[in-house]
Chains A and B, each alone.
Chain A
């Protein structure tokens, strides 16, 4: 990670602090050598099948594809975790993922994808890669694995399940007051 990114990342920290740190949902704070640590959000993800740098890149790719400034990295990590899990038993997938990240790194030049400190630079790289079947696989998987997390719904103001609360008949189905 170059200074740019480190900087941008630190700036992000304060914005994301409001998200409760206890709700890990992923592997918990890992200490193994293959662990991917996110000190600012206090979580870690055990990475064994993929290279740790690859997983790190995937998480950033996920954010760059669907950037939501109010959503913490760990939700992107949860969304991308399946590549780590599946790669453990699917060598072909593992190869595809590593190769895709390697291609991205190559097109990024020195420092690779993670070395590009500005979102706009990385998005330009993704745009170039958008015809790549692996990009589309990641995007189409992510549109479910990110937005289908119940923990992110409140961030969008979506309340989810309502039957157990008796529907909205007494809970604001018609409470609009600004028309």
Chain B
């Protein structure tokens, strides 16, 4: 039975956000008997209500509250108020996500050491190693049912994958398969197996894809230690004279201000909202926002070096049929500076339906060059490129002068590519083009980054409190009972899709929090 806790109950752990980080942490703590209240800004839509329609689904699930942008990235020009494509709903972006679940490579935890000094890059080593993370990765993979781990079979390859695989073979790539996907390739965990509907980004109506919405959250609720309050937007975190946090102020469904007391607060609102919340929680004691003695809150915003390549062929592909992202080439993920950049990138199958293709293929473009590509939609194959981007201090979340409906200053997202990002993208576009041309593509199209789906780094982890916001447990350096539990902890981004790492960190953090509570250390 789902619990309900009193607002003046100051023994609970309050988690802000119910996505990959918050939803997982909430369940893990509840399993250990810790009482948890998750406050989630979005509504609770169960998976049966998801919609196989891109714009309608976007309207149902995406975060469309005001945000602003600045900087030289093209998203600022084409989508000035949509810096990120992420979710406001119970389950967070794990409703929209595609399910690609990869471990970081060993050297990616040691980016500064491995890549050396790069002008303009604020590189740092993580305060954790792959060896320390491995047991947690294993638990996350098991929890999420990641294919090709724990004896689970891979997903079958769809048309889009088959084109990718044929091209990969021609180019001599060695590591190409249908991915490590948090999507059931067989029935397990009381959930369906993938039916190849092809609307993974719109929320899986079969429940085959892992999402905190219908895994972690109901499991946590079943313990009687977890309460999820949807439609509750946290406005600020409060603290006492000693600097310890005491609870949060939030606006409920009716726009009424409420207060929830807490023993511990964990922030997991994704990398734009989490720093926004810390900054909006400024006080006379913490004038530059909570946990910000380093000045790093909101800085080092990363979004992965991304891009896509679409290719049209003489004959049909029907790329939209089947699992959206079950296809990967890992050969370029290595660090090999001979290519003209540090770090690496993954190539993953990707398909958009006609409505999103029109919006994102070449934003702002019109005329026959554009429409002839659309005319070839059925004969199109596509892949996404996701690589490590360089953390830069000037890429950051700040508070805009604009305010949301609660009168809270909204987030401004500033981003400029680092030259390393540009070099990597050009290389990746070239490889994507070569891959498709090797199997007979008539035309290949380099597609620029979409609004960010991977948002990272804005409360980064550091060994030294001077260099970052949280320690190796995601605990803020400044305030012992304030934690960060989402992708904003990332010290650097790695080449891999981030969610498996977010979930692994949350499992690890739950152990730490429960242990510290038991020892009365917090």
Contacts and interface: CB of A to CB of B under 8 A. Distances in A.
B318 A157 contact: yes
A167 interface: yes
Interface string B207-222: 0000000000000000
A52 B322 CA distance: 45
B156 interface: yes
Majority SS of interface residues in chain A?
A: loop
B430 interface: no
B195 A166 contact: yes
Given A65-B366, A156-B374, A156-B377, A167 B197 contact: yes
A148 B56 CA distance: 10
Contacts of B53: 160-161
A161 B322 CA distance: 12
A152 B364 CA distance: 21
Contacts of A152: 354
Contacts, number: 116
Interface string A17-55: 000000000000000000000000000000000000000
A70 B375 contact: yes
Interface stretch (A8-16, A82-90, A139-147): A139-147
Given A144-B55, A167-B198, A168-B196, A174 B159 contact: yes
B297 to A, nearest CB: 34
Contacts of A2: none
A169 B194 CA distance: 8
A158 B320 contact: yes
Contacts of A158: 320, 353-354, 377-378
A115 to B, nearest CB: 21
B371 A68 contact: yes
Interface residues of A, number: 36
A163 B377 contact: no
A157 B316 contact: yes
Nearest to B54: A148
Contacts of A171: 321
Contacts of B364: 139-140
Interface string A158-179: 1111111011110111111011
B368 interface: yes
Given A176-B162, A176-B163, A162 B198 contact: yes
A118 interface: no
Given A144-B359, A162-B199, A156 B378 contact: yes
B159 A147 contact: no
Nearest to B356: A147
Given A156-B354, A158-B353, A167-B196, A67 B378 contact: no
29 contacts: A66-B366, A66-B371, A70-B375, A139-B364, A143-B358, A143-B359, A144-B355, A144-B359, A146-B358, A148-B55, A152-B354, A157-B377, A158-B320, A158-B353, A163-B52, A163-B197, A163-B199, A167-B198, A168-B158, A168-B198, A168-B322, A169-B194, A172-B321, A173-B158, A173-B322, A175-B318, A178-B314, A178-B315, A179-B163
A28 to B, nearest CB: 26
A49 B314 CA distance: 46
Given A157-B377, A168-B196, A176-B317, A67 B367 contact: yes
Contact of B370 (A66, A144, A148, A168): A66
Contact of A179 (B197, B379, B439): B439
A70 B374 CA distance: 12
Interface string A129-150: 0000000000110011011100
Contacts of B205: 163
A67 B318 contact: no
Interface in B141-164: 156-159, 162-163
Contacts of A168: 158, 195-198, 321-322
A161 B119 CA distance: 48
Contacts of A163: 52, 197, 199, 205-206
Nearest to A140: B364
Interface in B337-374: 353-355, 357-359, 364, 366-368, 370-371, 374
Nearest to B208: A167
Contacts of A65: 366-367
A159 B366 CA distance: 24
Interface string B295-328: 0000000000000000000111110111000000
